[in-house]
Amino acid sequence: MKKFLIIANWKLNNTKDNISEFLKYLNIYLLDNNQKNIISIAPSFIYLEKLSREIKYKNFFITAQNVDINLQGAFTGEISVLMLKDIGVQYVILGHSERRILHHENNNIIAKKFSLVKKYHLTPILCIGETEKEKKLNKTYEILKNQINSIFEICGTESFRNTVIAYEPIWAIGTGKSADIEYVQKIHKFIKNYIIQYDHLSLDSLMIQYGGSITSLNAREFLEQMDVDGLLIGTASLQYKEFLKIVKISNNIY
Ligand code: PGA
C-alpha cells in the first residue's frame, strides 16, 4: 500500500478567519475518515501554532515554509529551527523556487539550511526544478544534479535518508499548466536513481513529491505514477473544498 505525503503550501495567503473555517472542515473529514497518508499544511509562520492547537487528528503534521540559516543571535526578522522544533513543526520546505528567485537563495544557502534542519531532527523538503528555458535547452538533468550535489557536498552522501524532495518544474508553478505526467514519472525515477548511485538508501526513506498546478482534476493521474510519493499543492490548497477533494482522492489510491 502506498502512503503519500500531501502538503498544502499556503505561501503568503490565508488569515485567521478562513483558516478557522478550513481547519473546522479538515478536522471533521480527518476524524471521520481513516487516512493511510500523511497530511500536512504549511501556513505562514504566525499560524503554525494555531494549526498544531486546532487540528485534532493525530496523523497530521505541520510544515514550515522556510527557516533561517542561523540558529540564534542578532538576525532581526528571522525564524530559527529551534523555534520551529519548539512548537512541534515536523517538515520544513527548503529551496522553493520563489525563495530561490525572489529571495536569492542559492544551492549553497539551501544546503546549509538542509543540514541544520536535519541536525535538529526535522524533515527537510528540498524543492528542486528547472526553468522553462533550462528545459528547452535540455538542461533539466544538469540543473537537478547541481541542486542535489550541493546537498551531498555539504551534508554528506547519506543526506537524503528520511527526507523529502519536491520536484517542482518552475514553469508549472501557479501557471495552471502542470507538467506532463510521463515526464514527471521519468524525472522522479531519475532523481531516485541518481541518489541511489551515491547512497544505497532504502527507498522508503526518501519521498519524492510533485508540485506545480495540481488540482482535484489531475491529482489522481500524478499519484498513480510509480515514483510519485506525494504532492506539494499551492493554489488548489487554499480552499478547503478543493484541498479535501485531493486528500480524498489520495486516500483511494493504493
Ligand atoms: P501551485 O504551487 O500548486 O500553485 O502550482 C505549487 C508550489 O509552489 O508549491
Give me the pLDDT at residue 181, please: 98
The whole-number pLDDT of residue 177 equals 95
pLDDT value for 82? 98
Whether 130 sits among the annotated catalytic residues: the reply is no
Average pLDDT along the chain, 254 residues, taken 10 residues at a time: 96 96 96 92 98 90 98 98 97 98 97 98 98 97 98 95 97 96 98 94 90 98 98 98 98 93
Active-site residue (options: 98, 105, 168, 242): 168
| Residue minimizing CA distance to atom 3 of ligand 1 | 234
Residues 120 and 221: their CA atoms lie apart, in Å, by 35
pTM exceeds 0.85, yes or no: yes
- With CA atoms as reference, report the closest residue to 2 among 222, 241, 153: 222
What angle do the packed helices 16-32 and 240-251 form, to 10 degrees?
20
CA of 49 to the centre of ligand 1 (A): 23
Kindly list the domain boundaries of the chain, sorted by start residue. 5-251
Helices 107-119 and 140-155: crossing angle in degrees, nearest 10, is 50
Q: DSSP class of residue 181?
A: H
Nearest CA to 16 out of 43, 36, 35 is that of 43
Annotation marks residue 168 as catalytic: yes
Q: Are the beta carbons of 29 and 253 closer than 8 angstroms?
A: no
pLDDT at 132: 97
d(CA 89, CA 92) in angstroms, rounded, equals 8
Query: 5-251 domain in CATH 3.20.20.70?
Result: yes
215 Cα to the center of ligand 1, angstroms: 10
Residues linked to residue 64 through DSSP beta bridges, in sequence order: 92
Alpha-carbon separation of residue 190 from 33, 145, 233 (angstroms):
35, 10, 22
Q: Is 65 in the pocket of ligand 1 (CB under 6 A)?
A: no
- 232 within ligand 1 shell (Cβ under 6 A): yes
Q: How far is the CA of 253 from the centre of ligand 1 (A)?
A: 22
pLDDT at residue 59, as a whole number: 82
Predicted local distance difference test score (pLDDT) of residue 141: 98
Query: How far is residue 83 from each of residues 19, 80, 90, 152, 181, measured CA to CA in Å?
Result: 22, 5, 12, 26, 38
